[in-house]
Each structure stands twice: as C-alpha cells, then as structure tokens.
A and B are shown apart, each in its own frame.
Chain A
C-alpha cells in the first residue's frame, strides 16, 4: 500500500509528505497500522546503521502482526509495539522530554495518530514544519464536535454521530493542530431530523 493521495483542500487541512531518512543524532518513529509500510519503504534507501539510533513506537491497530516482524528486523535501538495510542502517549511524552537537538521525528499512518503525536512534539518546542509525515491506510478522521467539544476517534463516514452528545455532525476539512482534530458541525440544525445518508470519507 503506497502513500495516500488526497484531493487539494482548504488551507487549514494538513498535507502529508513521504518519509525520507534525514541526518540526525537520533530518530523517533511513531506509526500506526499501515503507517509501518512508510517506515519499511523509507528503510530501503536509508544509510547503513541508520536504525542504530532509532526508536520505533508502533500501534498495530487492526493490522495485527502483519508488519511487526519486519519492523523489528530493521534493528532499531528501541522498538515498542503498543495496544493503542492512548496507551503509548506517556511513553511518547517521556521520549520527547529527553530529546536533544538533532532528533528527527517521523510520523506515519492515520491522521489521528500523526496529529496527536505532532501535538506532543510541538508542545515541547518542535516546529511542526520540521516534522516528517506520511499518510498510509485508513482515511478515518479524528473529529471534534464544535458543540459539546467531545472528540470522536476514527470517524469514517460523513455525517456521523458524535460519540459524546449524539448530534449528527458533518465532517469539515477545517483542522486544528492544537486539538489534533477536524471540526464536526450539526448537519440538521436548520431542518431537524433531515440527516443525509452517510457516505464513506474519501
């Protein structure tokens, strides 16, 4: 599975690139599910010994064991596979708190994973423009309900029901890096009950 191509959108919507091995004192990879593929593809052209200074934090999600052995085989100095982003986030914070200048950060996989990990990095002072990203796999979005402020993870349809307040929300492209979420807005406010059919997000 190659990197995801998105239609051009509004200026607040994140755009993602393609991971590339950069010179650095250390390398931190944070990936979920098919995001592993981006690391594996990048590794093909990485210099010898590149992973000696690498730390890979991987959340397999529904990809199960598909990539785990291949990632381990890269020989990273530290490798961690966790059951969920939430379970791994204190580890991510700890690693970032220790990081010195010259740490390169690579994020790959879903938008929710990349957005949240990027927020952790920018919270400790990394400029977002210096963080590499590559989208792979599900186009599910992390959505904030503008009404109740609750975040619904892994939204794959538009509209969707807020998992907190239950309103029917449409999926905007407007995105907040601070919240690591897109904005969901009530779809039937002007015609209560008239909710369009759900379509898969593309």
Chain B
C-alpha cells in the first residue's frame, strides 16, 4: 500500500478534495434508494481489499492534514478532549489497540516494538518516534487517550459500561456532526442521544444498546451514519456554530457541486480488555457532490434519498433550507434508471 498524504485544509481556504482513488473507496452509506434509521450493525471484519472496511483503523490520503486540523482545534479549545478520572485505564487499552492494529495493518507507516512495559512507537507519516512505559502516563506527552487519538483519524468516544448502560466518560471529539463532548460527557446512552428525532420512538436506541452491551473482545462491530456539510469543515461543533452556521447560506446553483458535501461517519465499536470499556470511533469521510456524481449509480440513488427523506430528518441533519437546491443539482444526474442493490459504485 502506498498512500500519498495530501497537504490540504479543512477551514479558511478549504483546499480539501478527494483523489479518484479516494472517491472510489468512499463509504457511500445507501444500499437502496431510500433511507430511514436502522440499527444496521455488522461485524467489523475486512471487506474488499482497499475499501475503508478493510482495516481496523483506516488510514487514508487525508491523514496528515486531518491530524494537523485536530491539533489546531485542540489549541483553540482543550475541552474537546476530556477523560473523567476513572477512564485512564481505558485510555491505555485504546492506545494499545490502535498501536497494535496500525502496526499490523500498515507496517510501512507504523512500528510498535515492545519489551515488557518498555514500548517504542514509530509513526512515520507524522514524524513521531517515542519510547515510553506502558501504563505510566508520566512517560507520555499527553494522557494515553489523547496521545494516540492525536495520531488517529476520527473522533473517539470511550464508554464506561455499568448499570446495564453505556456512559460517555471520555472522548476526543473534533470532527463531530454538531454535538458537544463537553456538554455530553458523563451522560448515559439514552441521554446523549436524547436530541435525535424519531429513533427513540422506533426503539432504535433500546436495540442498539442491547447489541453494544454484548460486544465481545476481538469481535468489533460497525455501522454508518451520515449528514450534510457545507464546505469541507471537519469541526462542525456546536461550540463554533455561531461562526460556521452562516456558511450554510452561501450555496448557489453554481458552487453547490463543490461546496456541498455528504458527510459519512464510519462508526466502529471495540471492547477493551482491561477496563471492559467500549471504544466508539466515529470516523468522518467527506465527499463533494461533484465528486459523488462521478459514479452514476451513486448520483441517481443519492438524488432519490435526499428527495424522499422525511422532513424531521432533513431538519435534524441541518439541511432543510438547502434541500431544494441540492435536489435540483442532483436531479440532472438522475435519468430514472434502476440502481443495483448494495453500496458499491460499480457493482
């Protein structure tokens, strides 16, 4: 595997874009021409070499630039990374999981050498070469969760499991779809999902929680979620909403193909061995409408999904005002032909 890491921005001049290869492997989330909430869990096992589902923690061409953006968010607002005091052990679990998996899946990029508790971690893309003592936080520049998630794409929620519930007790959250870790930290599964419409009534969260409580070590699971974002802005946080919200009003029929992005979250779930916590990485992938429509199947299907989405969902996902313009744009790529089942662009 040979990844060409790009030098690009997710703010200000927004130079982010996807290569042809990145478009082809984009995790398009719709396997049919309509969408409604579902638990839609599946085992997180390798599917199709080269796809985002192939490795435990996908590394792609945006890695180095995404990590730079994360560091900028944390400089501006350190509260985006928090861990309640009882969660440090889970942080070590997470550090171990990511280091072991990345070194195994990307040996050209990452190396982990272990001699008892003396660990040596090499991250070539980010130019990091650190020796530290496992389980001794004084030997790392940050706490274990912060250290490793500053080097791993995607947000991370570390969930404590007790009282038959999951508790959002630690996290690194800088690429979120408009929710606040600082506000939600300490909440249980139903509380932090409280603002989501329709899904509670459908029993989605009760079933999802039951599934998640039973995830076993070595048997991770995954699902997809999605929303829409104007400009390739990773940090769509409520904290900064008063700054970025106005960008939603800048779409025109001329710029929409470049400015409007489908934002897909690859959510995975891993049981952690020592703490019995559950780690919930939420990896954000962005694609411009003009990139997405290069695959006719995706273009047709996405038009139909957006056109037929219930008003509550379009409102909750924050694009109700822009929906007519998005539909207009996408409709020119929908000739009404049938689409093949499944998410893959060329099947």
Contacts and interface: CB of A to CB of B under 8 A. Distances in A.
B238 A146 contact: yes
A73 interface: no
A189 B242 contact: yes
A12 to B, nearest CB: 4
Nearest to A183: B183
B201 to A, nearest CB: 11
A96 interface: no
Contacts of A65: none
Interface stretch (A36-44, A85-93, A130-138, A169-177): A169-177
Interface string A136-159: 000000001011010000000000
Contacts of B249: 190-191
Interface in B149-199: 180, 182-187, 190-195
Nearest to A179: B183
A178 interface: yes
Contacts of A173: 194
Interface in B211-246: 238-246
Contact of A12 (B192, B242, B246): B192
B200 interface: yes
Contact of A176 (B186, B195, B244, B321): B186
B193 A190 contact: no
Contacts of B187: 12, 176-178
A189 B247 CA distance: 9
B248 interface: yes
A61 interface: no
Contacts of A33: none
A183 B182 CA distance: 11
Contact of A174 (B194, B200, B240, B245): B194
Given A10-B200, A13-B194, A186-B245, 15 more contacts: A11-B191, A147-B239, A147-B242, A167-B242, A173-B194, A174-B194, A176-B184, A176-B186, A177-B187, A178-B185, A183-B183, A185-B238, A186-B242, A189-B241, A189-B244
18 contacts: A11-B191, A12-B191, A12-B192, A146-B180, A146-B238, A147-B240, A147-B242, A172-B195, A176-B186, A178-B186, A183-B180, A185-B238, A185-B241, A189-B243, A189-B246, A190-B249, A190-B321, A192-B246
